[in-house]
Amino acid sequence: MATGKKTLDRALSRAGACSRAEAARAITAGRVAVNGRVVRQPETWVDPVRDRLTLDGAPVCAIGKLVFRLHKPVGYVTTAADERDRATVYDLLPRELPWLGPVGRLDRDTSGLLLFTNDSDLAHAITDPASHLPKTYVATCQGSIAATARQALADGVTLPDGRTAPARVALLAQDAHTTTLELTLTEGRNRQVRRMVEAVGSNVLHLVRTRIGPLPLGDEPLGSGRLLRAEEVAALRAAVSRAAGRRC
């Protein structure tokens, strides 16, 4: 296929009109036209530069690459729509934003830094296990976690999907009832921190992601966020490159 051409669903997604899944649904429903002709096949190849794309009669125009940071609260799922009608992170995004996809996920019971972007290459680089971009969490755990268990977390524990990579683990606070740990991971398995803590005999009571690569959680109020500045995006890209390079 000629350079620059994309499938219609991907072209709509890359332009920031909607997610790729939403684009496919809109196309099959007859809501999308290419050069004035309705097209119902999401896999149709188009040239986003030369072809005129419309969605519900409105032109689809490419927008610049954007990255938005959100201080996600507990109680929101990381999806655009939820079959159980639960609150989603999209309820928190400014209405004037174009469509941006979440970069990875935070589960409903986890708060902290969550990124959104329409730059699929950057999103893939951040979430790709091969990039090993560090992500930091603060976990308040049930009971007192012994030094040997903390070392096991740092060395790697065995989960049903394999042994975890070494992590940085720091003890922030501890008493007879709870232990607060800071964990920095270089992989992103589903509910990984919670499962690691369970593997050493405890449970996570409260979990917050405090950093993604060079980006700290910052001081945005809970439930709010902002677009990243150009220098922040540049630092994020550089960090992904450095993290990948260290493992090459």
Q: Which residue has the higher pLDDT, 81 or 234?
A: 234
The overall average pLDDT reported for the chain is: 91
- Which pLDDT value is given to residue 21? 86
Q: Give the residue-averaged pLDDT of 120-143.
A: 92
Domains of the chain: 6-59 (3.10.290.10), 67-129+215-246 (3.30.70.580), 134-212 (3.30.70.1560)
Residue 110's identity, in one-letter code, is T
DSSP element (H, E) containing 30: none
Confidence of residue 165 (pLDDT cuts 50, 70, 90): very high
Residues 82, 91, 107, 175: which is the catalytic one?
107
Nearest to 23 by CA among 63, 60, 52: 60
Is the alpha carbon torsion for 208, 212, 218, 221 positive or negative? negative
Q: Which token pair is 89?
A: 């992170």
Per-residue pLDDT of 60-98, as tens digits, reads 877 788 999 999 999 999 988 888 989 999 999 998 888
Residue 193's identity, in one-letter code, is V
Backbone angles phi, psi at 202, to 5 degrees: -125, -175
Looking at the DSSP assignment, which residues form a beta bridge with residue 168? Answer: 184
Q: Give the residue-averaged pLDDT of 149-176.
A: 96
- Which pLDDT value is given to residue 77? 96
- Which pLDDT value is given to residue 26? 94
Q: Give the residue-averaged pLDDT of 141-169.
A: 96
C-alpha distance from residue 167 to each of 39, 156, 164 (Å): 49, 7, 8
Nearest to 21 by CA among 12, 30, 32: 12
DSSP characters over 151-201: HHHHH--EETTEEPPP-EEEEEEE-SSEEEEEEEES---TTHHHHHHHHTT
Per-residue pLDDT of 2-27, as tens digits, reads 457 889 998 898 787 888 888 999 99
- Which pLDDT value is given to residue 247? 47
- Which pLDDT value is given to residue 1? 44
Per-residue pLDDT of 27-55, as tens digits, reads 999 999 999 999 999 999 999 888 999 99
Looking at the DSSP assignment, which residues form a beta bridge with residue 139? Answer: 181, 207
DSSP characters over 51-94: S-EEETTEE-------EEEEEEPTT-BSSS--TT---BGGGGS-
Is the distance from CB of 100 to CB of 68 less than 8 angstroms? yes
161 is catalytic: no
Nearest to 65 by CA among 123, 25, 5: 123
